[in-house]
Amino acid sequence: MNFQEISPQDAWELVKTDSVVLADIRKLEDFQISHAQGAIHLGNENLQQYINQWEYEDPIIISCYHGISSRSIAEFLANQGFEHVYSLTGGFEGWQKAELPVEK
């Protein structure tokens, strides 16, 4: 495993510093309904664009529904050479349970 798990609270602390990319891989429709504050939508259609845009040392947090499918994307990015990749423990559900800010 070339990535780390990160709790919603620790992820929020990084997001507040504006020094991390928080990428939500849920379906676009679900992302548009509600997502973690500061998150971008990451899907198959824009994955390569973001890979080309991000720096390898940029911290990247991957979020999904429950913290399961984000692991495979985090592993993929780590294998592409990204140095600081995280999977959000509990996904967006964990973010909401922690009562962290969301955008609708």
Residue numbers annotated as active site = 64
Chain centroid, CA 63 distance in Å: 4
H helices within 2-90, ranges in order?
8-16, 28-33, 47-53, 70-79
